[in-house]
Amino acid sequence: MSSPATPTETLPRPATAPLARAKVVIKLALTVLVLFAVARHASKTWRDLAEKGESIAIRPVPFAAAIVIYAIGLVPIGIFYGRVMDASATPISMYAAVRAYFISHLGKYVPGKALVVVMRAGLSSPYGARVSTSAFATFYETLLMMAAGGLLSGVAFGWNAIVQIPIPLSGGAQVALPLPLLGLGLGAMMLVFVWPSVFPRLGSIARGPFRGVGSDAIPTMSYRLLAEGLLLSTIGWIGLGLSQVAILYAVLPAGLPLSVWPTAIASVALATVAGFVIPISPGGLGVREYVLWTALASVIDRDRAVIAALVLRLAWVIGEVGIAAILAPLRPAPPRAVA
């Protein structure tokens, strides 16, 4: 009776080995792709700085501080990703969630940015997350972060004065939009997408073409989760904005007066949200950098604003690579088996 069972027990082994090798090859290929994209992005930033044609003195202490502040600013947003996973049928440990959040940031440098979702799901699933749930949680966290960023920028820009930004149109025309209005408009639009009664419907539409992805794959939305996300994301945006303040101290002899710190924070938030929403690059420049240095030019010299925006991009790339290098080998404990 035992002999027929022996071949059956050994059957999966030949099939498993090629599958395991294929997974290793895919992971290596993705790693090479991400590293190449990050290196290209950093190289382009360095070339952009060199093309400014002037000697750029970057103070190392505030530059390093900007990297640390940026990392700290990302922590509350990573925690919110974990809180969204907690609201699902497949929660994971907070460390596993924050680790996946940080490392997956490198995927945004690959054209299309879809690799962020793939990487985060791949980094979350070994610790109990359902791949589809991780994807939905990533979309929700990102949209809510953008909603908070837009709303924060609208409020912070109104702190000092109404600043306008020229938006290029077809035929060489331009339209000037007040930055507070632009920020509040983008924030309100993103807020509609993450509203507790709206996001599940959007999720149901998105999961339609995929077999085996039921409604239980979507985390449970609530107004409490929405409020928690707005709070944590706002704290995160303030950290990201203070990273820009540190960069301004790194490139400006006198730094930035405290009275205009809100403008720097608002500039980073609005620029990032605009770069997420608007899929074009005016004049061959990234949307984020264009909005950032245009907004900063309302409080500092425009040339210095351009340099500060580019140095910030370089600092963020260095920070993301460094954090990923630290967290990658520090794997979370495997999930406990349910008895």
Q: Please count the residues of the chain.
A: 339
**11 pLDDT tier (thresholds 50, 70, 90):** very low
pLDDT in tens, 236-291: 999 999 999 999 999 888 878 898 899 999 999 999 998 888 765 444 357 788 88
CA dihedral 146, 149, 150, 151 (to 10 degrees): 120
List beta partners, residue 164: 178
9, pLDDT greater than 60: no
5, pLDDT greater than 50: no
**73 pLDDT tier (thresholds 50, 70, 90):** very high
From the CB of residue 62, how many other CB atoms can be counted at a distance below 10 Å? 19
The answer to pTM > 0.85 is no
How far, in Å, CA of 244 to CA of 69, rounded? Answer: 9
**195 pLDDT tier (thresholds 50, 70, 90):** very high
251 CB-side CA count, 13 A: 24
| DSSP letters spanning 3-71 | TTHHHHHHTHHHHHHHHHHHHHHHHHHHHHHHHHHHHHHHHHHHHHHHTT-S-----HHHHHHHHHHHH
Q: Mean pLDDT over residues 187-201, rounded?
A: 96
How far, in Å, CA of 144 to CA of 137, rounded? Answer: 10
pLDDT in tens, 153-176: 999 987 665 677 777 666 667 778
327, pLDDT greater than 80: yes
Top-confidence residue, 322 or 338: 322
